Structure 1
C-alpha cells in the first residue's frame, strides 16, 4: 500500500496541492476551455465591457431610430437599428477579448498558462472560443434590447417581422463572435493593448470611415471587403449590397481566420 502511494506521488508531483489539478480534473482542450472561462469571469473588467456594450446599444439605437423618424426616412426593418449599432458595440467586444490576452502578457501570467497547457495552439484556441461564445450571447442580448428600444423611438416608422428580427439578432451575435476571434489573434501578434487597439480601431472603424468619406465606387468596393463593411452587409436587411449574406459572413470569417493564424505563428515563434 505504501509503495503504491509513493509511486503515485512520484508520477503526479502536484496531486493534493491546493490550486493544482488532480487526477479527476479535466484535461486537454476541455480543461483549457474551463480554465479560460473561469479566468474571463473572475475579473470585473469582463462584466464592465458587457454592460458598456449594452448601454451603448440602447443609446445608439434610440438615436438611430429618432433620426430616421424625424427625417421621415422610408420604412425599414426595426432590426436595422440594432444591426447598425454594431459599428460601436463591437469595441466593447474588442476590449473584452483583447484583455484576455494582453493582461496575461503584462502581468507575466501567460507563462503559467503555457506551463499548464504546453500546446500553445490549445491556449489560443481556448481563449478564442471562450470569448467568441461570450460575445455571441452578448450580441444576441444587445440586438434584442436594441430592437425593443428602437421600436419605441421609430414610433411607427419601421416594420417588425419576428423571423427577420430573430435572424438579425443571431447575425449580430455571430458577427461579434468573429470580431472576438479577430481580436484575440491580433492581441497575440502585438502582445500589447495599445498596439492591438490601434490596429483594430483602424481596421474596424477609421479605415472604413476614410474610404466612405472620401467617396467613389472604387474606395467603396474596398470597404466592402473589410471586416465591418462585410459585416454591415451581413447584418442589415433591405439595403443594397454587392453580394449576399453568405459571402459577407465568409469575408468576416476570412479576416478572423487570418488574424488567428498570424497570432498562432507569433505565439509559436516567440517566447512568452
Structure 2
C-alpha cells in the first residue's frame, strides 16, 4: 500500500507540474507584450520616410518658400537705384528687410503646403487601407495616433527651422549688397525667424487633425484652405468682432509676431497672445487627431 500510494503521489505531482507548465506556455502565447510608445514612434518614422513623396514634398516646399523670398530680395537689389534718397534711408528703419525675409505670400504658401503634407500622413493610410493593418497589429489606436502626432511635429519643426533660417540668411545676404540687410540681433528679427519656423508644425498638425476627422483627400484639402487661408481674408481686423476672430487664427498670430514698422493698428494685441494662439492650435489639433480614432472603423 505504501509503495502504491507513493507511486500515485508521484504521478499526481508530475501531472500537476505538466499542467502548470502548459498553462504558463499558453499564457505566454496569449499575453503578448504591449508595444512600447518609442516603438510606435519608430514605426511612424519609418512610414514617413518609406514614401519618396514625403521627402520630395518637403524639398519642393522649401525651395518654393525660400526661392520666393530670395526673389523678392533680388528684385529690391536690382531696382535699388530707382529708389530716392529718403526711401533708401528709411528702408531699414521701416522694417522692410524683415518683411522681405519672410513675406506674407511665402507664409501662405508654407501653411497650405504643410497642412497638405500633414493631412496626407493620415488620409493616405485610410485611402490605402494601411490604417486597418496598423490597428490590427496595435489595438491601442490612440497610442498610434499620438506617435504619428509626435513624428509630424518633430519633422515639420526641424523643417520650419531650416526654411526660416535659410530664408532669413539668404535674403539679408542679397540685401547686404546694397547695405540694406540686417543681422539676427536686429529688433524683431529673431521673433520673425522663430514665428515663421513654428508656423510649419502648427499648419501640419492642423492638417493632420482635419485629415483624421474627415478621412477624405478632397474634403480635407478644402478644409485646410478654408481654415488657414480664407478665414483670415474674410475676417479682417477692421472691426472689433472680426479682429477677435482674426487674432484667434494661426495666420493672424503670425502677422502679429512678424509685424514690422510703426504703422497704427485698429485693434492692437500682444505678442504673448499670439504665441498663445500658436500653442492652443497645436495642442488642440493634436488632441483632436488622437481623440478622433473610433473603436471600430466602418
Fold similarity call, TM over 0.5: yes
What range is the shorter-chain TM-score in? Answer: 0.7 to 0.9
C-alpha deviation, 1:108, in angstroms: 0.4
Pair 1:205 & 2:229 matched: yes
Q: Report how far residue 271 of structure 1 moved.
A: 1.4
| Residue aligning to 1:118 | 139
- Deviation, 1:50, is 1.1
Tell me if the contact between 1:127 and 1:184 (Cα under 8 Å) persists in the aligned partners.
Answer: no
User: Where does residue 18 of structure 1 map in the other structure?
Assistant: none
Residue 145 of structure 1 is aligned with which of 162, 166, 169? 166
The 5 A counterparts of 1:1-272 are: 11-12=28-29, 27-66=35-74, 72=87, 74-75=91-92, 76=95, 78-84=97-103, 85-154=106-175, 155-162=178-185, 165-212=189-236, 216-218=238-240, 219-236=242-259, 238=261, 242-268=268-294, 271=297
Cα shift at 1:220:
4.2
- Looking at structure 2, the residues matched to 201 and 233 of structure 1 have their Cα atoms a distance apart, in angstroms, of 20
- Where does the alignment leave 5 or more consecutive residues of structure 2 unmatched? 1-19
Q: 1:64 to 1:114 in 2, by over 3 A?
A: same
C-alpha contact 1:82 1:142 (8 A) present in aligned 2: no
Structure 2 CA distance, aligned partners of 1:5 and 1:167? 65
Question: How many equivalent pairs are there?
Answer: 260
Structure 2 SS opposite 1:268: coil
Question: How does the TM-score come out when normalised to structure 1?
Answer: 0.80
- Would you say the 8 A contact 2:101–2:172 is kept in 1? no
Q: Distance in 2 between the 1:68 and 1:207 partners?
A: 31
Structure 1 segments unaligned to the other structure (5+ residues): 16-22
Is 123-132 or 168-177 further displaced after alignment?
Answer: 168-177
Distance 2:52 2:22 in 1: 42
Given the superposition, is the C-alpha separation of residues 223 and 271 from structure 1 closer, same or farther in structure 2, using an over 3 Å criterion?
same
How far is 1:228 from its partner? 1.1
TM-score (norm 2): 0.74
- Determine if contact 2:117/2:207 at 8 Å carries over to the other structure: no
CA deviation profile, 1:142-169 (whole Å, cap 9, x unmatched): 1122113312443333422347645433
Does structure 2 conserve the Cα–Cα contact (< 8 Å) formed by 1:61 and 1:82?
A: yes
Q: CA, structure 1 residues 162+12, in 2 after alignment: closer, same or farther (shift >3 Å)?
A: farther
* Displacement of 1:79: 4.5
